[in-house]
Amino acid sequence: MREQSKRFQNHRWLLRAAGPAVLVAALMAPFSVPAVAQEVTTIRVLNWQPGGAEYWTALVAAFEAANPAIKVELETVPFDRYPEVQGPYITTKSGPDVMENNAGLELFDRRSAYVELPAEVLEAGQELLTYSGGCLNFDTAQPCYGLPFGYQGNVMYYNKKVLAAAGLDPENPPKTWDEMDAACTAVKAIGKTCLALGMTGVFPTYWNFPEVARNFLTEDDMRAVLAGDMPWTDPKMISILEAMASIGERGWFNSSAPSISMLPDGADIFQSGNAAFASTIIADAVNWAAFGAALGDENVGAMRWPSIVPDAPLAKKFSGIESSVFGVSKWSTKQEAAFEFVKFVAGAENANLLTTIAGGISLNKNVDPNLLPKSQALSQILEIIKFPTLHVGVLLSGQEADALARGWQEVTLGRLSVADWAARMQTALEASPSKS
């Protein structure tokens, strides 16, 4: 007991010598409690998972690792059903903290649901080749409501194996409308679909209409479309609708096209090996990487749509646009965390993930070019995108996009004339809030 008391006295002397700070720490030590866990903010992100599930799993994991105080909950909706899911959120001013939209008028039409991005968030846009598609009227000096992460646009893919079976040159796909017509005749003769197509939803607006329109419109005309100053009764616009209608008249596509969506149904026809061509996009789940995985990279090529008017100024151009943009909802109570997600999506780490996992073409200037996979179709795409023009599909309002798809279905089924289709398009234009 005496020895124990002596040790206590020595201990007390040492504490006095060490000073008050150590004394307080020592006295508190027996009563210390475990450290409080870091508070985590959970944000909801509404998206259609461009690039595929594997890429998005990696994206979220990388973001959460870089931002341990933020957790991401994804609400993923099929691309063609996205507007019907997002619409009620906007109407009720509730739901996700971050939402995805296509660049251009689709975003502008819904900008009441988004906060204008502050300067510190837009700084992330300086690393991008462009982010104007997230800004009003494609002008970065005007309010911007979202940042993109990849480059998007339209090409036509072809299956070399099907072309060879049809007696066609697999290394020399059709370049004109007449050559395409001859190729389709040969493909159908071996029991295959020529052009895999689905007409429901927004796909005709974004994937088909721009490739026909390039033959009849100049860039000034396209800017007039954006402003609502190009009536659908204009002869140029009528020519576009007539050309779209003629695809069905020529029997190029599958008979199911008016009743199916391009995703997944139309794309499935192509990647199952049952079609020679598919009109899709350069960077998403239905791109060169997905088709190469299904058909073999050696069997997949990429080309521009065949020209209808070969000497048209934009006939040999690429309809390019920033891919979907991500913005922060006005009703979000977690906007600071949501801004961090938007910045990460536009950043270099995500750019490298997009390149390596999804085969996407990033807009970030700092992406590692050595990460691009080796693929003939990708090599062809990288040449095609060197000559871009405006993507007129993203310049249509939601009302016009809906009327375009429904009209094409009905024209193909013989239930509507092109003249009546044009009249419907004009009515949709006049009903478009962003163009009135």
61 falls within a domain: yes
Same domain, yes or no: 45 and 64: yes
Q: For residue 205, what are its two tokens? A: 């607006």
Residue 1 has pLDDT above 70, yes or no: no
233 falls within a domain: yes
Same domain, yes or no: 303 and 205: yes
Q: Are 391 and 104 in contact (CB under 8 A)?
A: yes
Question: What pLDDT is attached to residue 372?
Answer: 82
pTM flag (> 0.85):
no
Nearest Cα residue to 312 out of 418, 238, 211:
211
Query: Which residues is 45 bridged to in the sheet?
Result: 74, 98
141 falls within a domain: yes
195 falls within a domain: yes
Q: Is 191 exposed, middle or buried (0-12, 13-18, 19+ CB in 10 A)?
A: exposed
Residue after which a domain boundary falls, among 342, 359, 374: 374
pLDDT average, residue stretch 308-312: 96
Place of tokens 């689709």: 106
Residue after which a domain boundary falls, among 374, 393, 418: 374
Same domain, yes or no: 56 and 170: no
Long-range own/partner contacts, residues 178-183 (CB < 8 A, 24 or more apart): 179/306, 180/252, 180/306, 181/250, 181/252, 183/276
Q: Are 124 and 349 in contact (CB under 8 A)?
A: no
Tell me how far apart the alpha carbons of residues 222 and 203 are, in angstroms, rounded to a whole number. Answer: 19
Same domain, yes or no: 172 and 288: yes
> Can you give the CATH number for the domain in which 98 is found?
3.40.190.10
> Number of folded domains in the chain?
2
Q: What is the pLDDT of residues 265-293, one digit of tens each?
A: 999 999 999 999 999 999 887 899 899 99
Task: Look up residue 277 and give its DSSP letter.
Answer: E
Query: End-to-end distance of the chain based on CA atoms, in angstroms?
Result: 95
Same domain, yes or no: 131 and 164: no
Question: What pLDDT is attached to residue 17?
Answer: 35
Number of Cα atoms under 13 Å in the Cβ half of residue 285? 16
Same domain, yes or no: 335 and 226: no
Question: What pLDDT is attached to residue 191?
Answer: 98
Express the helix, strand and coil content of the chain in percent, nearest 5 each.
Answer: 50, 15, 30
Question: What pLDDT is attached to residue 177?
Answer: 97
Tell me how far apart the alpha carbons of residues 293 and 189 are, in angstroms, rounded to a whole number. Answer: 27
Decide: helix, strand or coil at residue 384: helix
List Cα–Cα distances, 266 to 200, 203, 260, 270, in angstroms. Answer: 10, 10, 7, 7
Alpha helices, H only, 19-158 = 20-28, 53-66, 82-92, 105-109, 119-122
Same domain, yes or no: 73 and 157: no
Residue 213 has pLDDT above 80, yes or no: yes
pLDDT average, residue stretch 318-345: 97
Q: What is the pLDDT of residues 375-424, one digit of tens each?
A: 999 999 999 999 999 999 999 999 999 999 999 999 999 999 999 999 99
Same domain, yes or no: 334 and 218: no
Same domain, yes or no: 355 and 431: no
35 falls within a domain: no
207 falls within a domain: yes
Place of tokens 């502008």: 108
Question: What pLDDT is attached to residue 114?
Answer: 98
Confidence at 34, pLDDT banded by 50, 70, 90 = low
pLDDT average, residue stretch 288-305: 96
Residue 53 has pLDDT above 90, yes or no: yes
Confidence at 128, pLDDT banded by 50, 70, 90 = very high
5 falls within a domain: no
Place of tokens 């478009």: 432
Q: What is the pLDDT of residues 166-209, one digit of tens each?
A: 999 999 999 999 999 999 999 999 999 999 999 999 999 999 99
Same domain, yes or no: 312 and 214: yes
Same domain, yes or no: 118 and 220: no
- The residue with greater pLDDT, 283 or 211, is 211
Q: What is the pLDDT of residues 216-259, one digit of tens each?
A: 999 999 999 999 999 999 999 999 999 999 999 999 999 999 99
Q: For residue 81, what are its two tokens? A: 């059903």
Domain of 231, in residue numbers: 152-320+378-435
Residue 157 has pLDDT above 50, yes or no: yes
Task: Look up residue 252 and give its DSSP letter.
Answer: -
Residue 343 has pLDDT above 80, yes or no: yes
Same domain, yes or no: 237 and 305: yes
- The residue with greater pLDDT, 436 or 76, is 76
Length of the chain: 436
List Cα–Cα distances, 328 to 49, 68, 109, 346, 365, in angstroms. Answer: 17, 20, 15, 14, 24
4 falls within a domain: no
pLDDT average, residue stretch 89-103: 97
